[in-house]
Structure 1
Amino acid sequence: MTTIIAEPASPGLDALLPDDPVALAAVANAVAVKLAALPLAASTEGELLAAAESLEQARRRFDAADAAVLVEISDRGAYRTAGYLSLHAYLSGGLRVGDGAARRRRVAAAAIGRFTNMQGQTLEPRCPATADAVADGQIGVDHVLEIDAVLTRIPAAVTTDVREGAEAQLAAVARTLTPAGVRTAGIRLLAHLDPDGQLTDDRDRRRLRGLALMPQDRQLMSTLRTRLTPGLRAELEVMLQSWAAPGMNNPDDPASPTGAMESADPAVVAAAAERDDRTPMQRNHDALHALLILARQQSNTPTSASGSGSLRSELVVTITDAELAAHAGIALTATGTRVPISELVRLAADATPHLAVFAHTTGEPLYLGRGRRLASRAQRLMLFARDRGCTAPGCAAPFARTEAHHFPDWQDGGPTDIDHLGAACGSHNRTVGTAPGQWETRIAATGPHTGRVHWRPVTPTTTPPTTPTDTSGPHRWQLNTIHHAELLPTTDPDPPPEPPAPPEPD
């Protein structure tokens, strides 16, 4: 098999290319467009292979260029100009690459990028040999991620020179291996550095601990990824020995004892165990579920004296009255979980969650004027029913992590009324203002999305008009549809929202 190595552009061609990064990026974009449109039927097999090799090498070199751009954006905080709170938010929402791709590109940039320190000095890459291999077009982001994952697992007790040598070795083998091959080589390297596990200490275990609840799949099931410290594992094993014993906490057996086995009648437990046909994994699942229900019920307290009406520690669910009557459909919790109506009924029997049914009102006061700054409990419930989560464009924060945002801001005379409030996570709530890089917000008074909260970045050169008119471009009004599948874009553009009526003076 012949390996074709693509060479960089010739000096003559390099002299024709612009030095302005924006213009150069436009040239690269134009090259990609023209290359995609070229007829390839007349090309020989060797030419096609050469083109594929060149494209792959260019793609990997673009990974180095991408890291350089991201480092500069990060150092300057340029993402704020576009109205985003962080580099990750800009990549995920602004460039629409999603959370996973944003994380991968940030990790790669952190490994091979040249950052600037507080004294204005340009630092060498954290992984210099890896950065050189990417610049040569020999490895890409996937290789970088595997190298970074191996380096993260090296015990803290390993000396700096050994760690640097390990990075150089991994970068060298990555030039000839696939990312999966780098992972295999990394496992062998870790085994060589700490063959008996003696170098790993509490610092490493604390650094590597974690628990992640993955998104729900099409069956509404979720995967739990976790790395447990020895202490948590010991606690969990003790709990499962009791709560997950055969016959205990069985949701399919009405006569099954709940709680710890030590507090149940042994005869009842024995009888329930005879009827228990669950697998050990299913018993572990049901035990954890029962323990969490008990913990939440014991932690729930009446609304605090501050009157914030927070719903963070309560099970709050929104459904339509038609779904509730038909006993079918999918409900949504304030934390963003989708729950089948059939399971919701079982939850309600145990936990009595709050249900916000759209076709009915609670009869509680939703208009408080200027007499109170914090939203009431009733208002928070209705905001959940309407917004379901943060209303900022592209923000996936569930309602449990949001605050009641005023339109206009409270300090500018905004009333605490339901039609002057919207759900916003704490980070986005603090971005609302009149300066460039901040956001302005409105509730639509007309159109198909009447009553929905709209956001747009404040333009750098103009004062936001009283009646918005622009519906296109980077500073257009935007509606977050992440929490509302029924609001996904249609062929008709969304009309600009009208601002709410100004509040009456006190």
Structure 2
Amino acid sequence: MAANQAVALPDDPAELAALSEAVIAKLATAAFTASTEGQLLETAEILERANRRFDGATSALLAEISDRSAYRKAGFLSLHAYLAGGLRLGDGEAKRRRITGAGTARLANLQGETLPPVFPATAQAVADGAIGADHVVVIDEVMRKIPSAVDPQVRAGAESRLAEVARDLTPAGVRTAGHRLLAHLDPDGALTDERDRKRLRQFGLGGQDQRLMSKVRGYLTPELRARFEVMFDSWAKPGMNNPADPASPRGAAEAADPATLAAAAERDDRSLGQRQHDALLALLEAEQALRPGAGRALSSELVITVTDRELAEKAGVALTATGTRVPVGELVELAADATPHLAVFSHATGQPLYLGRGSRLANKPQRLMLFARDRGCTAHHCNAPFARTEAHHFPDWADGGPTDVDHLGAACGRHNRSVGKNVGEWETQLVIDGPARGRVAWRPRTPGRRAAWRVNQTHHAELLPIQGPHAPPAPEDSRIEAHLEHLLGA
């Protein structure tokens, strides 16, 4: 067939998607050995142009899914959750697709009107197959940095210029061009105002690496920076809050004995960065010591779970309620300094064996039991740590569900509110047999069929080879009580 010959294609999007999948499947088995070098290069360019147009088509599709909240039909609470968990893209790729869609798709406003793309020139370049999602992400990054005081027409011109250069440059090249553009729009930073600073502020902890260390990422407002500097000038002085020196003064330097501080400073060989790290740790320890008890909540207390084998061997990694992994070797120091609640459970079965200091408040033993069992939100693919969860009832409290351990599960606020009796909502139950016994299973209420029960493996990665979803029996099944007695060691 000639390259310029029109091909009759269906108008239905689902049929087009199925047809494109068939074409790609056929192309994946095609033999390129008979092609000339020129044909190979031409094919590569065609495929890349098609991939970029797919980005545009995907953005339009996601805009419709978002406008109609269609992701709820699959049991997800947001478009991001559907992309990350439902399509198994992960948070990074889900964010990239959301940014691409937000900038290039036609979204509906609250009145139901379809609006033009936020970045019209960029959207056209994607539709032409000239640029892809990676270009769009960089353009969005640059546009967010343009001060609010810049005239809207100038802002629109900047977007058009970025889309134009993106047709010829790599995403990294677009970022370089964007930096030059920003320098031209606001060379001395005079246009940046309080609105921009509030919009750009952020502070976050990166994930733990293989050494269990974490990087910090942030963009501080002048006020927060000033407060940090004042605190560091006192708490991070040489000799102050040195964990390696038992005689080092703790707290603020103004309250320390001058002679003791001077002697500690002579012994202090820490770098400035290490002293500031230790100052932050000391400040948080002091704040936690002054905080009143939190009742049933564990989010404001240090709670640690560890296996019996790891505790006996003094090796391995313990888990806190906020999701942080702590080497068991450091667990003793934490216990001495903070007197944490400690949940110990069997390495082989994951069943709680001992709950220390769990009876201080009436309902805290149940929360500790949930932490030992669930570790975090039990909803499918949710990675919220236990400190950000609530005690979820099944059946629901409004339907007479009791506040008993075998009728409770850890659920973050969003997933707790997602349980209901309507299509798109979730139902939950305790698994009482199979390798997932004692765990909380979830399934979405989907139209016309019963979805499979799902057990969240996110917080129990070490059990993945033997875990799997199992349909729980009816709540009144007597084996629930039998299993609960075994779980509690009764």
- Per the normalisation by structure 1, the TM-score is 0.89
Structural RMSD (CA) = 2.1
Deviations 1:151-171 (A, max 9, x none): 111111111000000000010
Deviations 1:289-348 (A, max 9, x none): 111111122124252xxxxx1111111111122222221110101111101111222111
Deviations 1:78-103 (A, max 9, x none): 01111100001100110010111111
In the other structure, the counterpart of 2:208 is 216
Letter of the structure 2 residue corresponding to residue 477 of structure 1: W
In the other structure, the counterpart of 2:349 is none
In the other structure, the counterpart of 2:370 is 383
In the other structure, the counterpart of 2:485 is none
Distance 2:382 2:21 in 1: 29
Kindly indicate whether residue 304 of structure 2 is the aligned counterpart of residue 317 of structure 1: yes
Partner SS, residue 223 of structure 1? strand
In the other structure, the counterpart of 1:483 is 459
Q: How big is the shift at 1:9?
A: 7.7
Whether the 8 Å CA contact 2:320–2:326 is kept in 1: the answer is: yes
Distance 1:282 1:493 in 2: 44
2:437 to 450, 469, 472: 450
Distance 2:38 2:118 in 1: 38
Q: 1:25 to 1:139 in 2, by over 3 A?
A: same
Q: How big is the shift at 1:409?
A: 1.1
Q: 1:9 to 1:130 in 2, by over 3 A?
A: farther
In the other structure, the counterpart of 1:236 is 228
Whether the 8 Å CA contact 1:64–1:134 is kept in 2: the answer is: yes
Whether the 8 Å CA contact 1:61–1:136 is kept in 2: the answer is: yes
Distance 1:60 1:489 in 2: 38
Partner SS, residue 458 of structure 1? strand
Whether the 8 Å CA contact 2:72–2:78 is kept in 1: the answer is: yes
Letter of the structure 1 residue corresponding to residue 35 of structure 2: S
Partner SS, residue 158 of structure 1? coil
Whether the 8 Å CA contact 1:248–1:258 is kept in 2: the answer is: yes
1:438 to 422, 425, 437: 425
Q: How big is the shift at 1:486?
A: 2.1
Whether the 8 Å CA contact 1:330–1:339 is kept in 2: the answer is: yes
Deviations 1:165-215 (A, max 9, x none): 000001001110111111111111111111111111111111111111111
Q: How big is the shift at 1:476?
A: 1.0
In the other structure, the counterpart of 2:177 is 185
Distance 2:134 2:381 in 1: 26
Letter of the structure 2 residue corresponding to residue 334 of structure 1: A
Whether the 8 Å CA contact 2:435–2:468 is kept in 1: the answer is: no
Q: 1:120 to 1:289 in 2, by over 3 A?
A: same
Whether the 8 Å CA contact 1:92–1:99 is kept in 2: the answer is: yes
2:74 to 58, 82, 106: 82
Matches within 5 A, 1:401-480: 401-461=388-448, 475-480=451-456
Letter of the structure 1 residue corresponding to residue 420 of structure 2: G
In the other structure, the counterpart of 2:248 is 256
Kindly indicate whether residue 488 of structure 2 is the aligned counterpart of residue 501 of structure 1: no
Kindly indicate whether residue 11 of structure 2 is the aligned counterpart of residue 38 of structure 1: no
Q: Which runs of 5+ in 2 are unaligned?
A: 346-351, 481-490
Distance 1:29 1:52 in 2: 18
Distance 2:3 2:433 in 1: 55
In the other structure, the counterpart of 1:341 is 328
Distance 1:227 1:315 in 2: 28
Whether the 8 Å CA contact 1:384–1:399 is kept in 2: the answer is: yes
Identity %: 63
1:12 to 1, 6, 18: 6
In the other structure, the counterpart of 2:103 is 111
Distance 1:317 1:433 in 2: 32
In the other structure, the counterpart of 1:398 is 385
Deviations 1:212-260 (A, max 9, x none): 1111111111111000111111110111111111111111112211111
Whether the 8 Å CA contact 2:344–2:355 is kept in 1: the answer is: no
Distance 2:206 2:294 in 1: 31
Distance 1:321 1:499 in 2: 33
Distance 2:144 2:362 in 1: 44
Distance 2:66 2:5 in 1: 32
Kindly indicate whether residue 221 of structure 2 is the aligned counterpart of residue 246 of structure 1: no
Deviations 1:100-139 (A, max 9, x none): 1111111110000101223332211000000000101111
Partner SS, residue 12 of structure 1? coil
Aligned length: 471
Distance 2:405 2:314 in 1: 30
Letter of the structure 2 residue corresponding to residue 397 of structure 1: A
Partner SS, residue 318 of structure 1? strand
Whether the 8 Å CA contact 1:481–1:488 is kept in 2: the answer is: yes
Letter of the structure 2 residue corresponding to residue 12 of structure 1: A
Letter of the structure 1 residue corresponding to residue 472 of structure 2: P
Q: How big is the shift at 1:500?
A: 3.0
Please identify, of 85-94 and 260-269, the stretch whose mean Cα deviation from structure 2 is larger: 260-269
- Per the normalisation by structure 2, the TM-score is 0.92
Q: Which runs of 5+ in 1 are unaligned?
A: 1-7, 304-308, 367-373, 465-474
